[in-house]
Amino acid sequence: MTKTDPGRFFEDYRLGQVIRHAVPRTVAEGERALYHALYPARHALYSSDEFASHCGLEGSPLDDLLAFHIVFGKTVPDISLNAVANLGYAQGRWLAPVWPGDTLRSESQVIGLKQNSNGKSGVVWVRTQGLNQMGEPVLDYVRWVMVRKRDAGAPAPEAVVPDLPPVVDAGDLAIPEGLDFSDYDFGLAGEPHRWGDYAVGEKIDHVDGVTIEEAEHMLATRLWQNTAKVHFDATHREDGRRLIYGGHVISMARALSFNGLANAQMIVALNAGAHANPCFAGDTVRAWSEVLDKADTGAPGVGAIRLRLVATKGDSAACALKDSEGRYHPDVLLDLDYWALMPV
C-alpha cells in the first residue's frame, strides 16, 4: 500500500533543489482542436496556419495558454498536491512557440521557502521551466504555493523569500523569431483596433458569458494531465462540489477577451495572477480587461500591450475588482496581469 505518491510536504523541499517533473507529453492537432472546443478561442494566429504564415511564423502555434497548462500540469504532483493555496505567479515568459508534434516536459527549482507562523504549513516558491524535445525552454515562470507540513514538528528551514519584480520588463519580452505584423490583415483577424488605438487606463467589457459545466472543466484539466483531486472527485470536499482548475478560468477569460482585444494575438509574459475566488460548475464566467501599459518591441509592426484580465461570475460591465479595503469583490474569479503582442 506504499507505492502511491503522497505528494511532497513542506519539509520535503530544499532551497536550490531541482525537480524534474514526470510524464513528458507530445501535443498535436488533437490538443489544438480540443482547445477550440473547450474555450471560445478565436485569435486568428492560433486558428489558421495561413494567417500565422502571413505573420512570419511557420504555421499556427498551439495556444500559449495550452503550453502553459501542459507545463503547469506536470508540476502538480510535485508542487501542489498538498497545497492549501496557489498564492501567485510572477516573471512568467513565453520563450518559443509550441508547434504541433512538440514534446513538452517541465522542471522546477525551489527558489524560496518560508514556514508559516502557525508551524503547520509554509510557502514554497518555484521557478518552473517548460522544455521542448530539443531541450529548448518554451516557458519560464515563478509560482508560489502554501503547502502543508507532514509533521508539524519538523524544523523550519531558513526563510528565503525571492525578490520578484512585479512586472516583466518590456525589454525582456521574447518575440517569436520571424514575427512580423507589418502586413497584418485586420479584416481576417476580426477587429480594426490596433495597438495605437488602446490607451493606458482604458477598460474593455468583453460582454459575452459562458456558463461552466462539470464535464468541460474536467475534460480540460485531464487534458493538461493535472492530477489535483479537488477538480475531479465530488466526494473530496464536504460540500460535494468540484473546484475548477484556475487555469480553466484563465483560458475562458482570455478567449472571451477576443471581443474587444481580437488583435492581442500572442501572450508573451505573465506578470502576476490571483485566483481571487473559487469557480464552480454553474457559474457564468464573464471578463473585462484594463490596459496597464504599452511598449515597443524591435519586431516589425509589433507592439506590446500590458493587460489586466479579470474574470467575474457577476456583471462584467461594472468592471468591479476590489473594495475599499483592497479585498477582491466576491464575484471576481481571476485577476491576471500579462503582456501580449499586437499590430501597431
Residue whose CB is less far from a copy of itself, 50 or 323? 50
Residue whose CB is less far from a copy of itself, 152 or 188? 188
Shortest Cβ distance from residue 267 to a copy of itself (Å)?
18
Shortest Cβ distance from residue 125 to a copy of itself (Å)?
23
Shortest Cβ distance from residue 202 to a copy of itself (Å)?
8
Distance from C-alpha of 78 to C-alpha of 227, rounded to nearest angstrom: 10
Q: How far is CA 151 from the centre of its chain?
A: 32
- Three-state SS for 163? coil
Shortest Cβ distance from residue 17 to a copy of itself (Å)?
14
Q: What is the number of H-type helices and E-type strands within the chain?
A: 7, 12
Buried/exposed 139-155: b ≥16 CB within 10 Å, e otherwise = bbbbbbbbbbbeeeeee
Distances (CA, A) of 203 to 68, 161, 255, 319, 326: 26, 34, 17, 8, 19
Residue 79's identity, in one-letter code, is I
Bridge partners (DSSP) listed for residue 110? 126
Contact 10, 122 (CB under 8 A): yes
Shortest Cβ distance from residue 196 to a copy of itself (Å)?
13
Bridge partners (DSSP) listed for residue 27? none
Bridge partners (DSSP) listed for residue 199? none
Shortest Cβ distance from residue 33 to a copy of itself (Å)?
3
Residue whose CB is less far from a copy of itself, 3 or 16? 3
Distance from C-alpha of 246 to C-alpha of 34, rounded to nearest angstrom: 18
Shortest Cβ distance from residue 325 to a copy of itself (Å)?
27
Residue whose CB is less far from a copy of itself, 149 or 193? 193
Shortest Cβ distance from residue 52 to a copy of itself (Å)?
9
Q: Which of 184, 165, 202, 158 is nearest to 306 (CA)?
A: 202
Shortest Cβ distance from residue 5 to a copy of itself (Å)?
6
Residue whose CB is less far from a copy of itself, 111 or 255? 255
Residue whose CB is less far from a copy of itself, 182 or 211? 211
Q: Which of 4, 39, 87 is nearest to 224 (CA)?
A: 39
End-to-end Cα separation, the chain, in angstroms: 59
Q: Which of 315, 338, 329 is nearest to 254 (CA)?
A: 338
Residue whose CB is less far from a copy of itself, 180 or 205? 205
Residue 259's identity, in one-letter code, is N
Residue whose CB is less far from a copy of itself, 121 or 316? 316
Residue 270's identity, in one-letter code, is L
Residue whose CB is less far from a copy of itself, 200 or 207? 207
Q: Which of 269, 34, 301 is nearest to 178 (CA)?
A: 301
